[in-house]
């Protein structure tokens, strides 16, 4: 755990809902090609509240998924979500990625989503996970990249609060620009045959549902989550902060707003 940055988003029910909304808004974009073969053993590292777990289990009903997290409360929520979805191919376990309670080379596949951005040493995380992956097994990693975000209208305050998110996460030892680094990180962890695909979310007033679930319910709450740190470290004052958040909300709520963000999905072979 020494290799984790302070987890900037926390573990509140609001954050759990934000993670579920985020997952729902980009489910097809991120997971239309996430499939694990029948009979394979898959480790989902850092499952959180199960926002991805339900999709993994549903897309690969004949694979066996072991989902771990070091936060017990999140695991309990994830367990309920999977049971409610009527899925029975997931086992949950409290465990730390840096102290995995599994035999070396015991998994066929590893799945990691929105984890590395919170790690001080993402390379160590990938190396730890590689240790429990069979030779010839695959890893799938999905991360965002906050430097890939642009929007209209790009008011000064909106851009400023977005940059505060990047600065606060960076000051906490996280890496909000990790998406673009997935290829070299997998390379350093000695994976081979890497393939990285950017997955772009683009929303405008022609996609009001996407605007609401991705921008209003996912992106804006994520930025709002660093308000106190941003103001406390004097990156911005309260008035400009509120103006920036209002401007971000207006992108989703008023005609003419557009929003663009890139996730990156990488696969590699051990
Ligand atoms: C942003 S959440 C992502 C959860 C989920 N993968 C998703 O996509 O919704 C990050 C999760 O990683 C977990 N985590 C972070 N470091 C970990 C570690 N060293 N071992 C196990 N879980 C960890 C946190 O507890 C949190 O639930």
With respect to CATH, is domain 13-269 assigned 3.40.50.150?
A: yes
Calpha distance 7→169 (Å, rounded): 9
- Expressed in angstroms and rounded, the spacing between residue 16 Cα and the centre of ligand 1 is 11
Q: Which of 158, 154, 105 is nearest to 133 (CA)?
A: 105
CB half-sphere exposure, 27, CA atoms < 13 A: 16
What are the residue ranges spanned by the domains of the chain?
13-269
Per residue in 190-232, pLDDT tens? 999 999 999 999 999 999 999 999 999 999 999 999 999 999 9
- Expressed in angstroms and rounded, the spacing between residue 44 Cα and the centre of ligand 1 is 10
Taking CA atoms only, the protein residue closest to ligand 1 atom 26 is 48
Calpha distance 143→176 (Å, rounded): 9
For residue 208, give Cα distances in angstroms to 69, 153, 205, 223, 257: 34, 16, 5, 20, 10
- 122 CB under 6 A from ligand 1? no
Per residue in 124-133, pLDDT tens? 999 999 999 9
**For ligand 1, mutation pick of 25, 70, 82 (most atoms within 8 Å of CB):** 70
- Expressed in angstroms and rounded, the spacing between residue 205 Cα and the centre of ligand 1 is 33
- 113 CB under 6 A from ligand 1? yes
> Can you tell me the mean pLDDT for 76-99?
97
Q: State the chain's mean pLDDT as an integer.
A: 94
The one-character DSSP state at 214 is I
pLDDT of residue 241: 98
- 74 CB under 6 A from ligand 1? yes
| pTM flag (> 0.85) | yes
Taking CA atoms only, the protein residue closest to ligand 1 atom 23 is 46
């Amino acid at each position: 755990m020494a290799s984790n940055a302070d987890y900037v988003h926390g573990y509140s029910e609001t954050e759990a809902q934000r993670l579920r909304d985020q997952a729902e808004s980009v489910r097809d974009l991120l997971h239309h090609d996430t499939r694990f073969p029948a009979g394979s053993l898959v480790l989902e590292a850092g499952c959180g509240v199960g926002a991805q777990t339900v999709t993994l289990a549903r897309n690969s009903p004949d694979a066996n998924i072991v989902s771990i997290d070091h936060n017990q409360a999140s695991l309990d929520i994830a367990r309920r979500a999977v049971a409610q979805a009527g899925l029975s191919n997931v086992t949950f376990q409290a465990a730390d990625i840096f102290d995995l309670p599994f035999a070396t080379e015991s998994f066929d596949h590893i799945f990691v989503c929105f984890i590395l951005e919170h790690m001080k040493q993402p390379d160590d995380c990938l190396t730890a996970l590689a240790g429990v992956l069979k030779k010839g097994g695959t890893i799938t990693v999905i991360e965002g990249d906050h430097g890939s975000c642009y929007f209209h209208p790009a008011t000064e305050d909106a851009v400023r609060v977005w940059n505060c998110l990047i600065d606060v996460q960076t000051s906490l030892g996280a890496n909000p620009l990790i998406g673009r680094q997935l290829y070299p990180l997998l390379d350093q962890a000695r994976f081979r045959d890497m393939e990285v695909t950017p997955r772009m979310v683009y929303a405008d007033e022609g996609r009001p549902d996407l605007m609401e679930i991705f921008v209003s319910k996912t992106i804006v709450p994520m930025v709002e989550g660093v308000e106190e740190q941003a103001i406390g470290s004097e990156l911005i004052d309260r008035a400009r902060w509120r103006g920036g958040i209002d401007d971000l909300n207006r992108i989703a709520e008023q005609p003419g707003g557009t929003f663009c963000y890139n996730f990156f999905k990488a696969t590699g072979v051990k």
